[in-house]
Amino acid sequence: QVKLLQSGAALVKPGDSVKMSCKASGYTFTDYIIHWVKQSHGKSLEWIGYINPYSGGTNYNEKFKSKATLTVDKSSSTAYMEFSRLTSEDSAIYYCARRRHFDYWGQGVMVTVSS
């Protein structure tokens, strides 16, 4: 069955970066794009961007273009998102999701930015 397994929670200091992972299983990794989504506490969902695991091509929400970097490792069927220059506004849960339909989601990574 399709699964997206994300890395564990992170506590980071303001100004630091965080890199999180999303390991895919149960399907051919390079067949579908992987999206990343932000959910701030008690709020709705924001699309950050997507990466095509086959080509490595990316597209970003303008709001996150200078903040997020998406990469993949095809050999391990894993997608990564690095979030840089963190502030308290970046404290949130970050999800990966598959395909245009966002049909399967990872369990989420809670990132807390605090000194």
Partner 1 sequence: DIQMTQSPSVLSASVGDRVTLNCKASQNINKYLNWYQQKLGEAPKLLIYNTNNLQTGIPSRFSGSGSGTDYTLTISSLQPEDVATYFCFQHNSWYTFGAGTKLELK
Position among 7, 10, 45, 91 found at the interface with partner 1 (CB under 8 A): 45
7 binds partner 1 (CB under 8 A): no
- Based on the shown chain and the rule CB under 8 A, indicate whether residue 13 belongs to the binding site for partner 1: no
Give, in order, the Cα–Cα distances in Å from 12 to each of 35, 45, 58, 68: 23, 22, 26, 16
Among 12, 27, 71, 105, binds partner 1 (CB under 8 A): 105
Note whether 75 binds partner 1 by CB under 8 A: no
| DSSP labels, 50-84 | EE-TTT--EEE-GGGTTTEEEEEEGGGTEEEEEE-
Residue 80 in contact with partner 1, rule: CB under 8 A: no
Q: Decide: is 58 part of the binding site for partner 1 (CB under 8 A).
A: no
Question: Comparing C-alpha atoms, which of 91, 83, 82, 86 is closest to residue 111?
Answer: 91
Q: Which of 25, 66, 107, 114 binds partner 1 (CB under 8 A)?
A: 107
> For residues 17 and 66, which CB has a smaller minimum distance to partner 1 in the complex?
66
Binding flag, residue 100, partner 1 (CB under 8 A): yes
The partner residues of 29 in beta bridges, in order of sequence, read: none
